[in-house]
Amino acid sequence: MARVAVYVTPKAGILDPQGVTIERALPALGFEGVSQVRVGRYITLEVEGAEGEELNAQIESMSRRLLANPIIEDFFVEIVDDREYPHESCGGSEEVIVGEENTPRKAGEHAASPWTAADPYASGEEAAEGGEPEAEGDEDFEKGKEGVITSEDKPPSKAGEHAASPWTAADPFASGKEEVAKEDREAGKE
Amino acid sequence: MTAKTVSGAASAEPGAEAPRRMVNFGIVVFPGSNCEYDAHHALSTFPEAAPHYLWHKDHDLDGADVVVLPGGFSYGDYLRTGAIARFSPIMREVAAFARAGGPVLGICNGFQILAEAHLVHGALLQNRGLKFICHPQYLKVERNDTPFTRRFEVGQVIQVPVNHNEGNWTAGSESLRQIEEQGLVVFRYCDEQGNVTAEANPNGAVDNVAGIVNETGNVLGMMPHPERVCEDQVGGTDGRGVFGSLIDHILER
């Protein structure tokens, strides 16, 4: 079984009203110098049966056809096995501020896979407020949710060249994805 | 479904009208659609229209002359608006119908589904202002040579309500060039005088696009709701032009 993460982000040049709004809100909280805020979607899934190239092709196809709309979105696929978790492979060493306690934490310490947690949708707020984790493994996950994913040492995607990480590209939003949209449109017209 | 005919008793009377050819409108209902009744009601005000519903799991269009994809929140707008509905079984039939030249009208969520299905250009993003908008909106008619706009004049300003959260139409640069070259835009947001301005644009749509057709002109996606302005008592009749045009188109074929 393969565990897969698909990151979907708005394409270069596409207006992202949520990103713009967040970018405008940050200075009000005292965070200056923030730009290029883009809001995307992070999808995790498990796939049984397919492996290797077949798996890559499957994930790419489902991403193009359903998970992302290549006219307006780029996607980046990460395929991991049971021993590698995407957050760990992403690493991260930035200091982050968690919750209202303003307690600095190292993002890397808390980076954990969403799949190790009992409930991947559990809120991280309780942990930030000092609540007791309920299930084994939750603690890491809940703190991990606050972690900042950086791209410095992110390994190349296994899903193919099209899948450039939004974080590793020199210009994260300009990576020649026009053709992807075009191909998809043509495919859709058949 | 067969076309309705006048009763035998009526036609037997001397001077009675000949059986009228009815236009079958198939209104596709997805889980989460909520404007199918409005569309059905609006169409029922036209004596020549025979509207009927099509369930999204159906595999045929039940003899429809025109397919309508109504507004709503198909599949709860999960993932992206229209993204799941696009893969409903009936959409295969709708696409084949469209390829064969059959008129398909997508309103609001129906437009979003058509865009996801690549039956019209572009995609619908969240409104620029991040707010759900719901108000009467002026539109400029750009073309009257389509099956949807025959009863309008080019340049005519009509008032049709908008009612959406994701109506911010956009397209890739290649698509935009094609749309411009082929004049695929049918309606643009404008002010009362017909000026297409940024101020008159309610959602941030590129070039104020409110409705576009495909290259062959037989598939129209539009964000505003013509079915809601088909009777004076609900505030306007400008929407009648869209359905009336479709009826003319079918009857004269």
Q: Does A188 touch chain B (CB under 8 A)?
A: yes
Interval B182-219: pLDDT, tens = 999 999 999 999 999 999 999 999 999 999 999 999 99
Q: With bands split at pLDDT 50, 70 and 90, how would you rate the model's confidence at B15? A: low
Based on the fold, state whether residues A33 and A23 are members of the same structural domain: yes
- For residue A184, being part of any structural domain is answered with no
Based on the fold, state whether residues A73 and A101 are members of the same structural domain: no
Choose between B181 and A190: higher pLDDT.
B181
Based on the fold, state whether residues A100 and A122 are members of the same structural domain: yes
Decide if A14 and B79 are in contact by the 8 Å CB cutoff.
Answer: no
**Smallest Cβ distance to B118: which of A15, A17, A189?**
A189
pLDDT given for residue B228 in this prediction: 97
Based on the fold, state whether residues A15 and A35 are members of the same structural domain: yes
Check pLDDT > 50 for residue B250. Answer: yes
Residue of B nearest to A42 (CA): B79
Query: From edge to edge, which strands make up the β-sheet containing A2-10?
Result: A41-47, A2-10, A73-80
Closest CA to A138 of A151, A120, A155: A120
**pTM of this prediction?**
0.73
Closest CA to A66 of A8, A143, A142, A27: A8
Q: Does A169 touch chain B (CB under 8 A)?
A: no
Q: What are phi and psi of B171, to 5 degrees?
A: -155, 160
Q: Does A17 touch chain B (CB under 8 A)?
A: yes
Interval B36-57: pLDDT, tens = 999 999 999 999 999 999 999 9
Check pLDDT > 80 for residue A185. Answer: no
- For residue A189, being part of any structural domain is answered with no
Q: Which residue has the tokens 């058509």?
A: B114
- For residue A125, being part of any structural domain is answered with yes
Cβ A99 vs Cβ A156: under 8 Å: no
- For residue A180, being part of any structural domain is answered with no
Interval B49-98: pLDDT, tens = 999 999 999 999 999 999 999 999 999 999 999 999 999 999 999 999 99
Based on the fold, state whether residues A61 and A123 are members of the same structural domain: no
Choose between B174 and B26: higher pLDDT.
B26
Residue B234, min C-alpha distance to chain A (Å): 33
Based on the fold, state whether residues A58 and A121 are members of the same structural domain: no
Decide if B170 and A14 are in contact by the 8 Å CB cutoff.
Answer: yes
Residue of B nearest to A187 (CA): B118
Check pLDDT > 80 for residue A7. Answer: yes
**Smallest Cβ distance to B168: which of A15, A21, A189?**
A15
Interface probe, candidates B84, B112, B170, chain A, greatest A C-beta count within 10 A: B170
Domain encompassing residue A27 = 1-90+152-168
Average pLDDT (B111-132) is: 96
Based on the fold, state whether residues A83 and A100 are members of the same structural domain: no
Rounded to an integer, what distance in angstroms lies between the CA atom of residue A8 and that of residue A78? 11
Based on the fold, state whether residues A157 and A117 are members of the same structural domain: no
Decide if B126 and A185 are in contact by the 8 Å CB cutoff.
Answer: no
Q: Does B198 touch chain A (CB under 8 A)?
A: no
Close Cβ partners of B157 (under 8 Å, ≥ 6 residues apart): B138, B139, B140, B141, B190, B192, B193, B194
Check pLDDT > 90 for residue A33. Answer: yes
**Which CATH number covers residue A58?**
3.30.1280.10
- Determine the length of chain B: 253
Check pLDDT > 60 for residue A114. Answer: no
Based on the fold, state whether residues A86 and A96 are members of the same structural domain: no
Based on the fold, state whether residues A23 and A71 are members of the same structural domain: yes
Question: How many distinct structural domains can be found in chain A?
Answer: 2
Average pLDDT across chain A, whole number: 61
Residue A176, min C-alpha distance to chain B (Å): 12
pLDDT given for residue B218 in this prediction: 98
- Domains of chain B, earliest start first: 8-251 (3.40.50.880)
Based on the fold, state whether residues A1 and A72 are members of the same structural domain: yes
Q: Which residues of A touch B168 (CB under 8 A)?
A: 15, 17
DSSP sequence for B42-68? HHHTSTTEEEEEEETT-SS-TT-SEEE
Average pLDDT across chain B, whole number: 93
- For residue A46, being part of any structural domain is answered with yes
Rounded to an integer, what distance in angstroms lies between the CA atom of residue B30 and that of residue B164? 17
pLDDT given for residue A73 in this prediction: 95
Check pLDDT > 70 for residue A174. Answer: no
Average pLDDT (A78-98) is: 47
Decide if A17 and B173 are in contact by the 8 Å CB cutoff.
Answer: no
Report helix angle B173-182 to A178-189, nearest 10: 50
Alpha helices in A31-128 (DSSP H): 52-62, 86-90, 107-110, 125-128
Provide the annotated active-site residues of B.
108, 225, 227
Based on the fold, state whether residues A58 and A126 are members of the same structural domain: no
Stretch among A47-56, B93-102, B167-176, B188-197 having the lowest mean pLDDT: A47-56
Measure Cα distances from B119 to B48, B99, B114, B147, B234 in Å.
27, 9, 5, 16, 31
- For residue A34, being part of any structural domain is answered with yes
Residue of B nearest to A14 (CA): B170
